[in-house]
């Protein structure tokens, strides 16, 4: 039997009861959304730490970006993260790829307070810059990089594009 055949209109009194009781039984609306920041470029990652610090990233898909990874300050301004040096690579001024953001795709904060940044190092979604694909762990308590995991071509071959990293912690999971 088609599902439409099972449907019957509500009697008028039932409809009135539903409409009158809906505000009492329905989900509560959250307070109005607050705009935190606005961006001219495309953001592909947003991460919020337990203390409210917010981080964003901008990939170099179509053009250079002034900052690849940034902390969103209380006034909405973007502060290069972890510093301006890591954000200094550009298509017009390519620097070493292993210690600069090349084309960051994603940022995430884990439960222990580390920001993880994945950089497939493929500006324009094209050629991967040699030595560039990496996963970077930053301690949010010190704003210092504590680990860089470089991916060689056997893990990140030409034509690939790493997009996401996540964390799953269990009691037996090491840091």
Q: Who has greater pLDDT, 34 or 93?
A: 93
Decide if 37 is inside a domain. no
Long-range contacts of 59-64 (CB under 8 A, 24+ apart): 59/103, 59/104, 59/105, 60/91, 60/102, 60/103, 60/123, 60/124, 61/103, 61/123, 61/124, 61/125, 62/124, 63/91, 64/90, 64/91, 64/92
Decide if 18 is inside a domain. no
Decide if 102 is inside a domain. yes
Query: Span 118-125, mean pLDDT?
Result: 93
- Total number of domains constituting the chain: 1
Q: Given pLDDT bands bounded at 50, 70 and 90, which one contains residue 85?
A: very high
Decide if 171 is inside a domain. no
Percentage of the residues of the chain whose pLDDT score is greater than 70: 77
Decide if 53 is inside a domain. yes
Q: What is the pLDDT of residue 23?
A: 55
Find the range with the poorest average confidence among 19-23, 71-75, 83-87. 19-23
Tens of pLDDT along 7-16?
555 555 544 5
Decide if 72 is inside a domain. yes
Decide if 108 is inside a domain. yes
For residue 136, give its domain range: 45-150
Q: What is the pLDDT of residue 175?
A: 53
Decide if 172 is inside a domain. no
């Amino acid at each position: 039997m088609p599902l439409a055949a099972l449907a019957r209109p509500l009697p008028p009194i039932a409809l009135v009861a539903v409409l009158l009781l809906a505000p009492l039984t329905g989900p509560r609306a959250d307070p109005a959304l607050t705009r935190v920041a606005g961006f001219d470029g495309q953001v592909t990652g947003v991460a919020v730490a337990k203390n409210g610090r917010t981080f964003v990233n901008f990939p170099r898909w179509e053009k250079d970006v002034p900052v690849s990874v940034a902390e969103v300050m209380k006034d909405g301004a973007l502060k290069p993260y972890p510093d301006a040096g890591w954000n200094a690579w550009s298509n017009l001024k390519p620097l070493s790829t292993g210690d600069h953001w090349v084309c960051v795709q994603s940022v995430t904060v884990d439960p222990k307070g580390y920001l993880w940044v994945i950089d497939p190092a493929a500006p324009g979604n094209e050629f991967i810059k040699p030595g560039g694909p990496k996963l970077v762990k930053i301690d949010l308590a010190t704003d210092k990089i504590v680990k860089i995991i470089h991916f060689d071509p056997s893990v990140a071959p030409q034509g690939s594009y790493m997009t996401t990293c996540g964390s799953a912690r269990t009691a037996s999971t090491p840091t």
